[in-house]
């Protein structure tokens, strides 16, 4: 063995030991492991006890042509994650996009990663999707810990990371959904920008916008951080600005692929035709959900979505007041974008899931959680709703 190879091996071993001893990594891995086991077993128990139907149904249980995993241990522990949008990502990973089936509203990076890992897993795309989501989940928790630690210290970082892990809809981080991957890139972008690693921050933002359309929002807070670092002087701008300006490029690249390669309809047209969604002003969306709740058609999920919106609007205001300005910019713009889409049956559709990426709220909650009463106010309802909503999800109940 040459001295160079020996030195490289020692360097890698030292870095692995450093990562393994990092409290942020240990907590992130522990939270992931506990939540993966608890939620999976809970969902399996709910499905086994209720004996809810899992056979394909074009309306109630649309498998999108994906073979359902049913029966035995695999059905309880793996098949339970084959729900709703997860099946779209699995279909895209396996079969690719089609301009006429509604798949074009799902951005490509997550299904691409599933396809790559799936090839290694002998075309088991469900297992591949769970692996990708799990790794991204650990990474997102790690980045949140680091951001909170910089802002409020280690104790607050432990709390904020825990609060995110047990949030009522946090089981979507474990599912074949984009939440964990998108949040990882978003947090990594902020983390890199706070360390003035602008090229890497821009790359993370680019990947975020290739994961979900909302990723383009990262342009505003990261551009603000860059300009502030340059004291808002044109003479101080450097080539790193190009990395920040390239953040929307991921979304633009996918939209160009839709138009030039697949010749699909515009994204707004696909939303309206395939998903029965329309773009409205935020106040129209809020008014629609209030009217639905007051009517006989209102459901608990409508109330939950409206309640989540109210909480995170308040947290946006407090983020603007109590955190560095870039966090408030991110919160306000993201919420505004999320409020622009309304479906026929579900005003504020999936709001309780979408707010998972509004991480500045968790920074503040981690800071406030030093008060035991506040901590109990966060933990008890979160755990109760997490169990209820994940159980509903297992039974093919629409929760987000």
pLDDT tens for each residue of 338-361: 999 888 778 898 999 999 999 999
Structural domain for 151, as ranges:
22-394
Which bin fits 396, alpha (ψ -120 to 50), beta or left (φ > 0)? Answer: left
C-alpha–C-alpha distance, residues 283 and 129, integer Å: 36
- The pLDDT value recorded for residue 5 is 58
- The pLDDT value recorded for residue 1 is 59
| Cα 161 to Cα 28, 313, 354, distances in angstroms | 8, 21, 17
- Is the model's pLDDT at 189 over the cut of 60? yes
pLDDT-based confidence at residue 177 (cuts at 50, 70, 90): very high
Over range 61-74, report the average pLDDT: 90
Over range 172-176, report the average pLDDT: 97
C-alpha–C-alpha distance, residues 33 and 380, integer Å: 20
C-alpha–C-alpha distance, residues 38 and 40, integer Å: 6
- Is the model's pLDDT at 84 over the cut of 90? yes
- The pLDDT value recorded for residue 296 is 81
Q: Give yes or no for a contact between 288 and 342, defined as CB atoms under 8 angstroms apart.
A: yes
pLDDT-based confidence at residue 18 (cuts at 50, 70, 90): low
- The pLDDT value recorded for residue 17 is 58
Q: Give yes or no for a contact between 143 and 184, defined as CB atoms under 8 angstroms apart.
A: yes
- The pLDDT value recorded for residue 273 is 64
Please give the residue that has the higher pLDDT: either 42 or 100: 42
C-alpha–C-alpha distance, residues 167 and 353, integer Å: 10
Could you report the per-residue pLDDT of 250-305, keeping only the tens digit for each?
999 999 998 888 877 777 777 776 666 788 899 999 999 999 999 888 899 999 99
Residue 155 falls within a domain, yes or no? yes
What is the overall mean pLDDT for the chain? Answer: 92
C-alpha–C-alpha distance, residues 220 and 237, integer Å: 16
C-alpha–C-alpha distance, residues 217 and 213, integer Å: 8
C-alpha–C-alpha distance, residues 178 and 54, integer Å: 23
C-alpha–C-alpha distance, residues 265 and 24, integer Å: 45
Over range 110-135, report the average pLDDT: 97
Which residue stretches of the chain are H helix? Answer: 3-21, 23-50, 72-77, 85-95, 109-120, 125-152, 154-165, 179-194, 198-211, 219-229, 240-245, 249-260, 267-274, 282-294, 300-322, 325-338, 351-354, 360-368, 372-394
- The pLDDT value recorded for residue 71 is 82
- The pLDDT value recorded for residue 50 is 92
Give me 171's structure tokens.
């089981």
pLDDT-based confidence at residue 6 (cuts at 50, 70, 90): low
Could you report the per-residue pLDDT of 224-258, keeping only the tens digit for each?
999 999 999 989 999 999 999 999 999 999 999 98
Length of the chain: 400
Residue 43 falls within a domain, yes or no? yes
pLDDT-based confidence at residue 11 (cuts at 50, 70, 90): low
Residue 129 falls within a domain, yes or no? yes
As for how many domains the chain has, the answer is 1
Grouping H, G, I as helix, E, B as strand and the rest as coil, residue 400 is coil
Could you report the per-residue pLDDT of 26-58, keeping only the tens digit for each?
999 999 999 999 999 999 999 989 988 888 998
Residue 2 falls within a domain, yes or no? no
Residue 33 falls within a domain, yes or no? yes
- The pLDDT value recorded for residue 3 is 60
């Amino acid at each position: 063995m040459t001295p160079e190879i020996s030195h490289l091996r020692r360097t890698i071993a030292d870095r692995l030991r450093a990562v393994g001893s990092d409290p942020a990594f240990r907590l992130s891995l522990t939270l992931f492991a506990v939540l993966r086991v608890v939620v999976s077993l809970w969902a399996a128990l709910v499905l086994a006890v209720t004996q809810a139907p899992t056979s394909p149904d074009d309306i109630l249980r649309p498998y999108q042509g994906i073979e359902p995993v049913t029966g035995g241990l695999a059905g309880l522990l793996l098949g339970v994650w084959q729900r709703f949008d997860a099946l779209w990502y699995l279909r895209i990973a396996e079969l690719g996009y089609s301009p006429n089936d509604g798949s074009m509203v799902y951005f490509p990076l997550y299904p691409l990663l599933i396809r790559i890992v799936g090839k290694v897993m002998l075309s088991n795309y469900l297992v591949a999707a769970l692996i990708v989501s799990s790794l991204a989940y650990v990474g997102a928790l790690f980045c949140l810990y680091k951001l909170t630690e910089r802002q409020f210290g280690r104790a607050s970082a432990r709390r904020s990371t825990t609060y995110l892990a047990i949030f009522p809809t946090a089981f979507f981080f474990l599912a074949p959904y984009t939440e964990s991957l998108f949040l990882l890139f978003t947090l990594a972008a902020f983390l890199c920008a706070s360390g003035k690693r602008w090229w890497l921050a821009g790359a993370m933002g680019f990947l975020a916008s290739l994961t979900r359309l909302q990723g383009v929002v990262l342009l505003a807070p990261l551009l603000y951080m860059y300009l502030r670092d340059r004291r808002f002087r044109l003479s101080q701008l450097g080539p790193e600005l190009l990395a920040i300006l390239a953040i929307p490029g991921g979304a633009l690249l996918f939209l160009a692929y839709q138009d030039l390669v697949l010749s699909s309809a515009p994204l707004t047209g696909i939303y309206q035709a395939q998903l029965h969604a329309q773009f409205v002003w935020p106040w129209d969306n809020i008014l629609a959900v209030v009217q639905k709740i007051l009517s006989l058609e209102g459901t608990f999920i409508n109330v939950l979505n409206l309640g989540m919106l109210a909480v995170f609007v308040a947290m946006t205001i407090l983020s603007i007041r109590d955190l560095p300005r870039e966090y408030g910019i991110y919160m306000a713009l993201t919420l505004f974008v999320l409020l622009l889409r309304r479906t026929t049956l579900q005003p504020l559709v999936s709001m309780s899931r979408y707010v998972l990426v509004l991480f500045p709220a968790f920074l503040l909650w981690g800071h406030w959680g030093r008060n035991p009463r506040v901590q109990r106010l966060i933990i008890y309802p979160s755990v109760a709703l997490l169990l209820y909503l994940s159980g509903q999800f297992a039974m093919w109940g629409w929760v987000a």
